[in-house]
Structure 1
Amino acid sequence: MSAALARSVSDLVGIRARQPEAIADAAARRARRPFLGDRGRLLVLAADHPGRGALAVGDRRLAMANRADLLERLCLALERPGVDGVLATADILEDLLLLGALEGRLALGSMNRGGLAGAAFELDDRFTGYRAQDLARLGFDAGKLLLRIDYDDPGSLETLHSAARVIDAMAAARLPVLVEPFVCRRDGGGRLRTDLSADAVARSIGIASGLAGTSAYTWLKVPVTEDPDDMARALEASTLPAVLLGGEVGADQDAVYEKWRKSLRLPTVQGLVVGRSLLYPPDGDVVAAVDTAVGLL
């Protein structure tokens, strides 16, 4: 962590302790921009993982547990040309607001973080984060919700119902909402597994697209299929605008970039929402990883 950020983190603690109203003031003053700019593409950094207890990056179990380190990586990435904004929970977005890192950038609020990673109730993705009225009050630009569906878990019906009502609320506020759908199941050991076959991704896209009383403000946040050549078939399930998510960090970063490159050519794909692959790249070079992703767009 740089000495400058160490001082800034100390300042953040002081502001939070003595002037909590400064957060709302910073949100009100923030310079805003259109959601989809002139370039017509989006590159958003995803940093909402800690709110679900998902702190691991590769074999580093607590990589995202160091908040000062995460903030430094985010500030570094947000300074790069072509980076549009960040998706995070309230605590992280508020830190970035106070640091002045969200000026002219998009602020996307993470809405459901109740399905804690590895918990018996992981699929119970309750809306414990931002509400539509919070995002509207703060002048933020969009929200995001996670929608994991297990056909063997009756609780998935409640998740679908809750997600639909949140999409309604976001549409009423005229705010885009990114829906991140997965078909998943538990293996013999009870661990949650995501199905990234083209059939499953297409099915999840169809389900997410049909939720709520309108899809006018709904975007899709989707994974690349197991076989990237099948991605076109999966995305044929909807005409909603889509962004690709980054997923786990792998040793072969070039292969990840190539998957994104192929999928970014598809007509509904409007950009990338990526976290760990850019903020914690295998070689540690955040700037190079971000600039490479910008180049893919």
Structure 2
Amino acid sequence: MTAGQGDGVGGDGHVRVDVPALVHTRTHHPEAIAEAAACRVRRPRLSASGQLMIVAADHPARGALGVGDRGLAMASRADLLERLCLALSRPGVDGVLATADILDDLLLLGALDHKVVMGSMNRGGLQGASFELDDRFTGHRPEDIQHRRFDAGKLLLRIDYDDPGSLATLESAARAIDDMAARRLPVFVEPFICERTPEGRLRSDLSAAAVTRSLAIASGLGGSSAYTWLKVPVTENPDDMARVMEASTLPAVLLGGDIGDDPEGQAMAFEKWRDALRLPTVRGLVVGRSLLYPADGDVTAAVDFAVELVDTAVEVL
């Protein structure tokens, strides 16, 4: 039995993680993580169908632990791991996006065989910090992703025209894209145009014009775009998405974001994804909190419905 693995998926759909066993392995046999990475069964390509369904869990490393009104919803690592293992066990889920600490746990749990593994690269822009837009690369480096035999990386690119920190992030993002391309590793770039509210909080502009501009900027970073994907929010008005996605020929996945605790809001988000997934450059979903912490608490149902949306889009394309 893999270190930390409990009884697997129970009859109630709940996955049980043996945290003491994980801590014991990390304490007495830390090299087990590298051994698990070396033995992981990889997929021959990101996706046979050209579409991806990825579960995201890189929020905690940025200090973003909230879901809706629950400020510390993601604070329990055991609970998060159990939700992730359950999501990854569902048919049609291609893989996971996370930081090293979470991916190391999932390796020890044996949950990453035949899955796409995406390392989160820049987590320095802590939520609410004065330096939030100087988003330095404090997570996976390209060499880490290659050494661990992971499949891709992801970086966040938030741009505020009034914040000099955005320039540092732009430059470091471009160099990371170069480094990933040199290794022939895909990198998913998640761009936003942002601004500060009068209270000093960072707000992402999801208007059609702002999202279009962010995609144009992200597409031009680095010396090669051959391995660059885009990770794109749905605009405030979903009817604008067809025009917005004309800004680039790079393949793109839709992100989920925090849609709160309202079941009606979750249903509306799912419908927005359904329409946008039919666009020619959109190749799937990378969604975290709205699937792992759904409004009704049913992770299985939320994940399965998202998979169905992606599968339906494949049939349409």
Give the alignment's TM-score, normalised by structure 2.
0.91
Unmatched tracts of structure 1, length 5 or more: none
Unmatched tracts of structure 2, length 5 or more: 8-14, 311-317
**Secondary structure of 1:43 counterpart:** strand
Q: 1:230 — aligned with what?
A: 240
Query: How many pairs align?
Result: 296
Residue 7 of structure 1 and its aligned partner are, at CA, apart by 5.9
186-195 vs 7-16, greater mean Cα deviation: 7-16
Partners of 1:66 and 1:35 in 2: how far apart?
33
Residue 248 of structure 1 and its aligned partner are, at CA, apart by 1.0
Q: 1:115 — aligned with what?
A: 125
CA deviation vs aligned residue, 1:163-205 (integer Å, no higher than 9, x gap):
0000000001110000000000101111111100010000000
Partners of 1:215 and 1:35 in 2: how far apart?
18
Q: 2:174 aligns with which of 151, 164, 185?
A: 164
Partners of 2:66 and 2:155 in 1: how far apart?
21
CA deviation vs aligned residue, 1:129-172 (integer Å, no higher than 9, x gap):
00000000010000000000000112211111000000000001
Q: 2:211 — aligned with what?
A: 201
Q: Residue type matched to 1:247 in 2? A: G
Q: 1:20 aligns with which of 19, 23, 30?
A: 30
Give the 5 Å matches for 1:246-285.
Answer: 246-250=256-260, 251=262, 252=264, 253-285=266-298
250-259 vs 274-283, greater mean Cα deviation: 250-259
Indicate if the aligned counterparts of 2:98 and 2:118 stay in contact, CA closer than 8 A: yes
Partners of 2:137 and 2:17 in 1: how far apart?
34
Residue 280 of structure 1 and its aligned partner are, at CA, apart by 0.3
Q: Residue type matched to 1:290 in 2? A: V
Indicate if the aligned counterparts of 2:17 and 2:81 stay in contact, CA closer than 8 A: no
1:131 aligns with 2:135: no
CA deviation vs aligned residue, 1:42-74 (integer Å, no higher than 9, x gap):
000000000000000111110101000000000
Give the alignment's TM-score, normalised by structure 1.
0.98
Indicate if the aligned counterparts of 1:113 and 1:129 stay in contact, CA closer than 8 A: yes
Q: 1:288 aligns with which of 283, 301, 309?
A: 301
Partners of 1:156 and 1:105 in 2: how far apart?
33
Indicate if the aligned counterparts of 2:155 and 2:173 stay in contact, CA closer than 8 A: yes
**Secondary structure of 1:295 counterpart:** helix
**Secondary structure of 1:147 counterpart:** strand
**Secondary structure of 2:128 counterpart:** coil
Residue 32 of structure 1 and its aligned partner are, at CA, apart by 0.3
Indicate if the aligned counterparts of 1:47 and 1:86 stay in contact, CA closer than 8 A: yes
Q: 1:90 — aligned with what?
A: 100
Indicate if the aligned counterparts of 1:45 and 1:274 stay in contact, CA closer than 8 A: yes
Partners of 2:206 and 2:60 in 1: how far apart?
23
* Shift >3 Å, 4+ stretches: 2-7
6-15 vs 254-263, greater mean Cα deviation: 6-15
Q: 2:71 — aligned with what?
A: 61
Partners of 1:248 and 1:34 in 2: how far apart?
32
Indicate if the aligned counterparts of 2:206 and 2:235 stay in contact, CA closer than 8 A: yes
Give the 5 Å matches for 1:141-156.
Answer: 141-156=151-166
Residue 6 of structure 1 and its aligned partner are, at CA, apart by 6.0
Residue 36 of structure 1 and its aligned partner are, at CA, apart by 2.9
